[in-house]
Amino acid sequence: MCYAIPGKIKSISDTVILVDYFGEEKKAYNDFYDLAVGDYVFAQGGYVVQKVSKKEAEEILSVWKETFFELQEVDLRLSSLDLKSAGIERKTALILDKIAQNSSLSKEEALYLINSENEREIELMLKTANFLRQKYLKNSCCVHGIIEISNRCQNMCSYCGISANNKTLSRYTMTKEEIFEAAKEAVNRHGFKALMLQSGENHGCSVDDLGYVIERIKNELGALVFISFGEIGLKNLEKLYKKGARGLLMRFETSNPEIYRNICSGNELEDRLEHIKNAYEIGYLIATGSLIGIPGQTKEDIINDIYLARDLKAEMFSFGPFLAHPETPLFDIRPVMEKEMLKTLALARFIGGKEVKILITTAFETLSKDARKKGLLSGANSVMINVTPRQYRKLYTLYPKRAHDQEDIVNQINDTVSLLRSIGRAPTDLGAS
Ligand code: SAH
């Protein structure tokens, strides 16, 4: 199974290449390969990650050709928008109409929308977000793999089940060989083209070892690597970039510095933001966002979170519900409702705009079994599949009863692909336009 469609190079201008996908042209950066016009490549997140032989590319494309256009039609049908304003406030209708016409949303309008409790208004809000997603990004949906390389953590964040607060958890750190093997299986056997490597903070795998693995993934497998190891510092960010990492997944958790201090045991939000900004300056693609439903958070904080993710120039937004873990100080906090998460995703699309990828998080899938489908129909266009070896996956307990923890990777892929097909989405990442 393949999670990206190969494209044919139409032109090359220094490190920027123009790739053709069934008549659609997209730009991609080429940092790594010797390429010529007419070659076939896979791109992810706007980077060329693999060169493919003509024969292989033509085989894949012949399978995709019909499906590609069929899926687009289904998507177009499901995302059409009829802004009938019966049963909704005039102000809501005007705001949604304005967004559908490409205008940007003021903070006051965003707050007005997030505060709506009217079912019909919420429904129209989610539909408008889906309409915009289709209009800007068509039907491509990124399917990234995540490998949780260690559950060791020195931090005492009060929301997190793998924090040092949890004394009952068995801790693991995968060896560099194990990480590479898991990546190899994900790329070569399952067809992933983008992988997130994630862990707690200070996990016992040295930066040199991580660099070694990332370089091998880049050179031997050909996949876009995102790192998510917490605040590793500028030097290490640079080191891993040189080895081939091109994305950073780091949530700021909340845009409210006071809440941040409370839940991140006295650490400062400013330091985390600095880290994200440094990574952006180095050249990393940024995936960031916050926890929805943490104690003290207001609707205005959520709106501020979305604006902050946008201001950090995120390529991908990751907003997910906070789910209490029994072995943490916040064990008795109730999660937000599904509709609050859906509203957040829709507002993320309204505020984040044209290019941004919006992820359905595993936490949301744990909160609601229909999260993927509903989220993808509310502005989101990205999902993650857990490809951590199963014996470790069950120990990466950020929160209890995590969705897909016991599922075989092949089953997860099959379920994902059939869901995507049912709503007209192609499991691809054609790169930034
Ligand atoms: N050490 C890395 C990865 C942390 S775990 C880093 O600091 O970025 C990845 C994410 O899981 C966190 O950023 C947090 O937003 C989320 N998370 C942790 N505990 C959670 C919980 N109880 N419910 C929902 N999400 C949680």
4-50 pLDDT per residue, tens? 788 999 999 988 999 998 888 888 899 888 999 999 999 888 889 99
230 close to ligand 1 (CB < 6 Angstrom): yes
Read off the pTM. Answer: 0.95
pLDDT at 433: 32
pLDDT at 394: 94
Nearest atom in ligand 1 to 321's CA? 24
Nearest atom in ligand 1 to 318's CA? 15
- The dihedral built from the CA positions of residue 278, 280, 285 and 290, taken in this order, carries a sign that is positive
253 close to ligand 1 (CB < 6 Angstrom): yes
379 close to ligand 1 (CB < 6 Angstrom): no
pLDDT at 345: 98
305 close to ligand 1 (CB < 6 Angstrom): no
Nearest atom in ligand 1 to 159's CA? 22
pLDDT at 195: 95
161 close to ligand 1 (CB < 6 Angstrom): yes
Give nearest CA residue, ligand 1 atom 25.
322
Q: Which residues neighbour 318 within 8 Å (Cβ) at sequence distance 6 or greater? A: 249, 251, 287, 288, 289, 359, 361
Q: Which of 157, 158, 160, 264 to mutate to test the pocket of ligand 1 (most atoms within 8 A of CB)?
A: 160
Question: Which position has the token pair 């951590």?
Answer: 388
Q: Which of 336, 393, 398 to mutate to test the pocket of ligand 1 (most atoms within 8 A of CB)?
A: 398
pLDDT at 432: 34
Would you give the DSSP letter of residue 379? T
Q: Which residues neighbour 244 within 8 Å (Cβ) at sequence distance 6 or greater? A: 32, 214, 215, 217, 218, 219, 225
CA neighbor of 328 nearest in space, from 269, 259, 263: 263
Nearest atom in ligand 1 to 153's CA? 1
Nearest atom in ligand 1 to 328's CA? 22
The amino acid at 216: R
Would you give the DSSP letter of residue 410? H
pLDDT at 205: 85
CA neighbor of 348 nearest in space, from 363, 365, 337, 360: 360
Q: What is the rounded CA–CA span in Å between residue 428 and residue 433?
A: 14
* Mean of all residue pLDDT scores within the chain: 93
Q: Percent of the chain scored above 70 by pLDDT?
A: 98
Angle subtended by helix axes 119-137 and 338-352, to nearest 10:
40
